[in-house]
Structures are given as C-alpha cells and as structure tokens.
Amino acid sequence: MMNNVLSRKWLCATLSASLALAPLLANAATPTLSLSNVPLVLQVKGQPQVLFLVTNSQSMDGNLSGAIMTGSGIVAANQSSSSPANYTVPSGFTAPVTGQSSGTAPYTATVNGNYVDNSPSRLNVAKEAIQQTYAAYSNVIQFGLMDLGVSGNSVYNTWVYYMSGANGFQFGSSSTVPSGLLAVANPCYQSSSNSCGNISSYLNNKYGISGTTTQPYLYISATSDDPSINDVLYAPSNYGLPSNFITFGNVSPSTPYPPNYTLNNYNNGSVVEYYSCTSYAGCSRGGFYWNESPTNAGYVPYSPMVWYAQRGFGFYGSVTNSNGAIGGNLVIPVASTSSTQAGNFTTALAPETDVTSAEIKADAVNNNVASALQTALNYFTGDNPPASSNGCTPSGRYIVLVTDGLPTVDLNGNAWPPLGSAAAAGYGVTATFNSDGSLNTTNDQALTDTINQIQALAQQGIKTYVVGLGAGVDPSKNQAAANTLTAMAVAGGTSN
C-alpha cells in the first residue's frame, strides 16, 4: 500500500514538473500549430473537497419567517391556535415525509410510532439542499458533513410565548387590535380545560380581565414567533407543565437589560427573570415560582404577564464545557463517494424525530460557529487530513457554512446575543461594516472569533461560502444579521 501511495505522488509531481516545461520546449522547436491552440500545461489534481458545516442551533427548527414550528399539531388542545396541524407548502419545497410539493401538508408525521418533523423548517430546507447537491455532484466532488458539537442532548416539549401589554392581556372578537398591540388566535377560546380555567380565574378575579374562554382573539405586545425573537420555551415533559399557562405578579427585575443586568452577566449566563405567580401553581409568598433564562435567541420575556401555549417538541444540548466552546462534530468525513457514504448522508439528513436517533437535530442551545470552524481547520490541516481522490493535491478545499443565524458563543464559551436581535439591542451589541462588506468594528467577541477562524481557513487556501437561511438573515427584516453573514463570506474569500 505504501508503494502505491508513493507511486501516485511521484506521478503527480512528475507530470506537473514535466508539463510545466512545455512552453520552453515549444520555443526551441518549430511548432506546426499556433501555441494558443495547444494546451501547454496540464495540472493533474484530485477532486475538490467540500465540507458542509451545518449550524444546527435550536433556531434551525424555525420556519423561514422565524416561528419554531417543529412538532406543531401534536398538542390537540392548541390545534386551532399555537399548534396548528397543517401548513401551506412553500414554493420549491417538498415535505420530507409526506411528499407534498404544493397545497397543504402536516407539520408533523408519525412514523413507527414516533413524531417526525415534516415542516418547512430551516433545517429541513438545508438538509434537502445538501442532499440534492450530494446526489448531483458526488461523482466529481469529495463531500463531508459537520455540525455543531453538543453534550447532554435531550428531547423537550416546546411552548410559544406571548408578552402582554402594559396593562396585561386583552381579548376581543376582532383581529383589528388596539393601538400598539398584536392579535393572535386565543388558545383558550371555547376551551373547558383545567389549564384555561385557571388562567380565566386569575385574570378575572385578580385583574378584572374577562374573555379568556369566550373571545377568539388574544391581544399581545409581542410573540416569540417574531423574527427578532425566534424562540420558544423548552421544558422536559416531567415538569408537568400544562398546555396553557401564564406567569404574572411581581416581575424581577423589571427588564433583563442594563442597569439590572450587564452584557457581562449575559456572557456568563447569569441573566434570569423571575415571576411570583403562575396560573397552575398560584403565587409564592415572598418568593418566586417561575424563572427563565435566554437560549440561542438571546431573549427572555419580562412583560407584566406572559402566556405560554404548548406547540411541539425540540432538543436541548449544551455547546460548552470546562474548556470553553465545544468544537464541531464531524458527522461524515470528506471522502470519495461510495454506497456507504451515500447511506450515511441519507441518514444524517433525514428529518428530525422526537427520539434519540442518528439524524442531525436542531439541538444546540447556542451557535458555537467559531469553535466548529476551528475544528474544520484542524481537520483539513492536521496530521490526518482527508485523503485526495487520486493521491494528488485536491483542486480546491472549501467550507460551505449553512446557517440561519449568527455566532452566539465565543471560543472561551461565553454567550453573546445574535446581532440585530431584540436582545442585542438591549445589551448594546453592535457591529459596523466597510463598503466592501467586510467587518469594520464590533464588540461581539463571538463574531470576532468567527471572522478570525474564517480568515485562518483562507490563509490555508480553504475558502468559506456562507449560505444564510430564514428571516433572521433577510436584509428586509434584519439588516445587521445580513451584513454580518456578508462579512463572514468576504473574510472567507467568497462573495455573498
């Protein structure tokens, strides 16, 4: 085997050196053809090597507009509100389980007794695109697949949450709302459930608010489905939380932003909002029954009341350990195509289920892009880089970064709110950009570390292409996020 390797290396080197002499030899002879018509240099190289890096943070369960809908439809009590059963199939998308490419399709399918995400989530869109690319080009390109490294991956139930206005929740019969508020379908409309009865009792008896079960619309100030929030509540099933509940009473502190909490508090994970009352457990005497901290979206609600309406399922995995940020997880090594590799791609790119299984899941509680890129760099330049298709130098090495958002963890494991989000505005996290799209200044260390890693890859001749997904990277909805992804592409030696 060693002799075969040496002979291939010798052949590549000999061909390259000999053919490079062709122009000199041509000048010494009398050519019968114009030199412009004769290929004088032939470069014998291996196939390009492409590593797909999927940033599978929790927000990748969101649809292209921002709402995290994975598992929607499985909560029977909320199918007419927060957990609808069906969606309109967007143009160009095929439901991964049920196969519809138009009309409507179920958000969630059931296969062998397990729930499977059938929605147009960002992760499903990314998986479909990668699978199609692999099928089309794997005979001429060596592909590999990496995602974000996590630990403690577990399945959770999810709840969308609605923030009240300054005077609490309001209800009405019209989608035309009072000034400054939004209308959503009331999860407790015509419900006789205990959870809705508890909400109605507290709102009516404590605050004089009626309409909990009699009005079709709930009026709110904001929803976690908003692209600038892009979040849900994650809670284990053994917590026993009801399908609908509210938090209210004393709110401490009044906001999660300065002067109550600083950016440093956010970095080290010590931001917590407390509520003294919940509709399912009552009110604490001198203490707090409910607390909540930010996830990848960076947001934590702090309105006078918060309504939680159960939606579906999701996964929750840590991206840090005692050494800082966890690196990338090499799902499939870069290699020439084979039936085994093709099967591995099919398995990894299957839609997400609600059980522990081999497909990529949107489970990273934060977006540790920098450490994943660092892992990719070490993989390509370390002692055991991916083997060439023919023993010669690959004709190019590339990272295709597939992401719906922005770096939210620096290399030391500190958390940062995503640029352009409501949380970033609250903590004063900003960035400026040059006319060529490159990064100028920022106080976001997660972004700085990411740009540095992309530049380190470029210095090794490894270009990074950035593929953005969803509302969070749509310039019309989040200019800062779109600019940031452009800066990452510029740093990688590619255009956006």
Q: What is the pLDDT of residue 209?
A: 98
- Cα angle 53-342-148, degrees, rounded to a multiple of 5: 20
Label each residue of 233-266 as H, E or C.
EEECHHHCCCCEEEEEEEEECCCCCCCCCCHHHH
- The answer to whether 368 and 325 have CB atoms below 8 angstroms apart is yes
Question: Can you list the residues of the chain whose pLDDT is less than 50?
Answer: 1-36, 38
Dist CA 369 CA 410 (whole Å): 8
For 15-74, how does the pLDDT look when each residue is reduced to its tens digit (9 = 90+)? 333 333 333 323 333 334 444 454 555 557 999 999 999 999 999 999 988 899 999 999
Query: What is the pLDDT, as a whole number, of residue 496?
Result: 52
Burial environment of residue 22 by CB neighbours within 10 A (0 to 12, 13 to 18, 19 or more): middle
Neighbours of 221 (CB within 10 A): 16
Q: Are 48 and 109 in contact (CB under 8 A)?
A: no
pLDDT for res 33: 40
The verdict on pTM exceeding 0.75 is: yes
Q: What is the pLDDT of residue 13?
A: 36
Could you read off the pLDDT of 83-96 as tens digits, one per residue?
Answer: 999 999 999 999 99
**CB-hemisphere CA count at 13 Å for 410?**
16
